[in-house]
Amino acid sequence: MSAHDRHEAVAGPIWTPFFKVVALIVGITVVLMARRFTLGLGSSTALSDGYPWGLWIAFDVVTGTALGCGGYAMALLVYIFNRGKYHPMVRPALLTSALGYTTAAVAIHLDVGRPLYLYKIPVSPMWWNLNSALLEVAVCVMTYIVVLWLEISPAFFEKWERGPDGFFKKLANTFHPIIDKIMVPLMALGLLLPTMHQSSLGALMLLGGKKVHGLWHTPLLPGLYLLSCVGMGYAVVAFESILSSRTYKRPRETRMLASLAGVTGWVVLIFSGIRLVDIVLRGKAALIFQPTIQSLFFLVEMAAFVVGGLMLVMPAFRNTAAGQFQSAMLVIFAGTLYRIDTYLVAYNPGPNWHYFPSVPEMLITVGVIGLEILAYVVIVKTFPILRGATPAQAAS
Amino acid sequence: MPVDRRKLIKGLAVAGAATAAAGVANAKIRPRKTVPTDAVGMLYDATRCIGCKTCVVACKQANDMPPDSASTGGLYDAPIDLNSKTKNIIKQYQDGEKQSYMKAQCMHCVDPSCVNACMMGSLAKRENGIVTWHGERCTGCRYCGIACPYGVPKYEFEKSFPRVIKCEMCSHRIAKGQIPACCEVCPRQAVIYGKYSGLVADAKKRLADFPDRYFPKVFGLEDGGGTQVLYLSKAGISFENLGLPDLGSDPVPELQQTIQHGIYQGFVAPVALFAVFGAVMWRNRRAQEKAGEVKP
């Protein structure tokens, strides 16, 4: 986090018409959330004993955290592969990660049946089942959320240091030097934790065994999840950068995004290659051509990955903002579908069981995302996160 | 960046590969779980069952289960499968002349997927091998439901503070010196309770004495790593016909456990990776400072 990148808070009021609409939607879904807590999961969701996990786990948590891998992917590029030129993009990426993971944590509280007992995970290490991949995910994600907010905390401190005397100023003056001192180990932890839990999110479904379709169930699930979350992380960074520079009239980062697109493209293409070779080597290629819903979803998913990946490496697309935006959307879509497929479409608990998310279930997901958007807007308009408007391009 | 980036990347790649190799080398083949010495179990013999469902009623009474009519449109206690109000049920297989009853319940696996899945040991295998649920540790995550290959753990979706419901082999009765309710009431002794070793010998003897009567296999000796509830089926009716999946002899959690334990053996790989990340970042930062760039 350096001063020379000139991060600046976005000017303008927080209560725009867009913000009000999102706040209204969130308000409505809060009622639905209250209903879910008082009347149980059955009242609000289409979950069943056949499909104990649904939209909230597959999308809000498993996909949500992968979409929150921008901070991980960018830090990997900047601090490990030493590509300093991307440095201005790290802070916005870290914010989306912190918000993405925090949102996933909110979703977990909605999804588990006994959220009051979640506190027992951090406080009861003597109960930890070290064989449980889910425990690994839970502990890692909890720690990572703390690490992410600490990593982004200098942005808050910078604002408070310049603010009026009081609690926040004192807080900033005390902790900013400490955070600066521990930034290297903190960043290293911020790289280690997603490496661990993003791969474990893939490993989770290994336990599904024969209930998980052969096109998705592979010993490589942990590696494939890791690789795809890095690809999705870059795509989200590009998506967020293009959208925020448009919305907030900030200088576009088209050139930087073009070279980032190359990295993303190769990650996605390597992922697709490994996935296909693995399917062939495991002798499951015939499953692709069976007339099943699974093979259809598989083909859509792979097409999105491959087309998105190719667009990202082709100069014609990756050098224009539109091409970058479209390819980023494709990769985000493909990665999302890959996760929803593994957890839901590929999961077959036997006859008599069906699952399609209920309306309240989907609305609550919308509400949770809305909450994330509200938090994003408030934070970028209050704290120096986004790259400042350069003098040459007058801020409007 | 004047720092030889190539060298750094190479170094990182080598370090990464070494970490991965260490992980793989550490991955000892997971030792197979064996049946505990004091193991108890059940043996269900489909050739003896007459489908009277006395066991279903007795199970509900012994376990204080509420009546279930909501899931069956008002029909009293006739659910189509195990559910959060039903830990034991009799199903029927019919194909032309061939018919058989089937008792569905928890199999009390030797190496249970649900126990492997459970974050804080809410589902645990007792000394006698019975898999029981302990609510004070359960967050209600339902990973047990994803993990179980037999679809056994059920969940009180209609409650605001739900429990996981499954057959616990009437552990509360066994503690009082009684036997599981279903085994106590069965008029034909189609399901019996006893020491696991005795049940295995009994099942094998029945197969040997009446080879014409039985499908030539005891289900549960090896299936999915073995179960403490054993099954015998009628001649000509496979266990898959009865709804028991063909899992092979590998324990269901084995693949995931081998991979995860390979990666996390002794926590060496994560610590090494952390050290590598830290070292590379520190080096990059120092190189930048030397090159006169603004201190990050």
> CATH topology for B40-249?
Alpha-Beta Plaits (3.30.70)
Count of helix runs (H) and strand runs (E) in chain A: 16, 2
CB contact under 8 A, A49 and B83: yes
CB contact under 8 A, B120 and A128: yes
CA angle A31, A337, A220 (to 5 degrees): 125
Domain count, chain A: 1
CATH (domain of A190): 1.20.1630.10
What pLDDT does residue B296 have?
Answer: 43
Q: Is B26 helix (H, G, I), strand (E, B) or coil?
A: helix
Q: Which of A52, A117, A352 is the closest to B142 by Cβ?
A: A52
Nearest to A274 by CA among A236, A231, A314, A211: A231
For A95-148, the pLDDT digits (tens) are 999 999 999 999 999 999 999 999 999 999 999 999 999 999 999 999 999 999
Contacts 24+ apart (CB under 8 A), A23-31: A23/A370, A23/A374, A25/A366, A25/A367, A25/A370, A26/A367, A26/A370, A26/A371, A26/A374, A28/A363, A28/A367, A29/A363, A29/A364, A29/A366, A29/A367, A29/A368, A29/A370, A30/A367
Is residue A382 one of the residues assigned to a domain? yes
**What is the token pair recorded at A289?**
């051509």
CB contact under 8 A, B155 and A49: yes
Residues 6+ apart with CB under 8 A from A303: none
Confidence at A393, pLDDT banded by 50, 70, 90: very low
Chain B touched by A121 (CB under 8 Å): yes
Chain B touched by A129 (CB under 8 Å): yes
Q: Which residues of chain A are within 8 Å of residue B111 when distances are taken between CB atoms?
A: none
Residue A311 Cα, gap to closest chain B Cα (Å): 26
Pairing label, strands B229-232, B40-45: parallel
In angstroms, the CA A211 to CA A96 distance is 34
Determine the length of chain A.
Answer: 396
Whose tokens are 């469902």? That residue is B53
In angstroms, the CA B167 to CA B155 distance is 13
Q: Which of B121, B253, B296 is the closest to A207 by Cβ?
A: B253
Q: Which residues of chain A are within 8 Å of residue B20 when distances are taken between CB atoms?
A: none
Among residues of chain B, what percentage have pLDDT more than 90?
Answer: 76
Nearest to A51 by CA among A270, A387, A343: A343
CB contact under 8 A, A132 and B118: yes
Is residue A394 one of the residues assigned to a domain? no
Question: Does the interface ipTM go beyond 0.90?
Answer: yes
CB contact under 8 A, A188 and B255: no
CB contact under 8 A, B149 and A82: no
Residues B183-193: what's their mean pLDDT? 98
In angstroms, the CA B46 to CA B50 distance is 8
Is residue A395 one of the residues assigned to a domain? no
Q: Which residues of chain A are within 8 Å of residue B274 when distances are taken between CB atoms?
A: 188-189, 192
For the cut 80, the answer to whether the pLDDT of residue B259 exceeds it is yes
What pLDDT does residue B263 have?
Answer: 87
Residue A133 Cα, gap to closest chain B Cα (Å): 7
Residue A21 Cα, gap to closest chain B Cα (Å): 31
Is residue A211 one of the residues assigned to a domain? yes
- Average pLDDT of the residues of chain A: 93
In angstroms, the CA B143 to CA B114 distance is 7
Is residue A351 one of the residues assigned to a domain? no
- Give the up-direction half-sphere exposure of residue A113: CA atoms within 13 A in the CB hemisphere: 28
What pLDDT does residue A250 have?
Answer: 84
Q: Can you give the residue range of the structural domain that contains A143?
A: 8-346+359-386
Among residues of chain A, what percentage have pLDDT more than 90?
Answer: 87
Nearest CA in chain A to B119: A135
- Give the up-direction half-sphere exposure of residue A245: CA atoms within 13 A in the CB hemisphere: 20
- Identify the residue among B136, B260, B261, B293 best suited for mutation to test binding to A, counting A beta carbons within 10 A and taking the highest: B260
Q: Which of A2, A136, A188 is the closest to B281 by Cβ?
A: A188
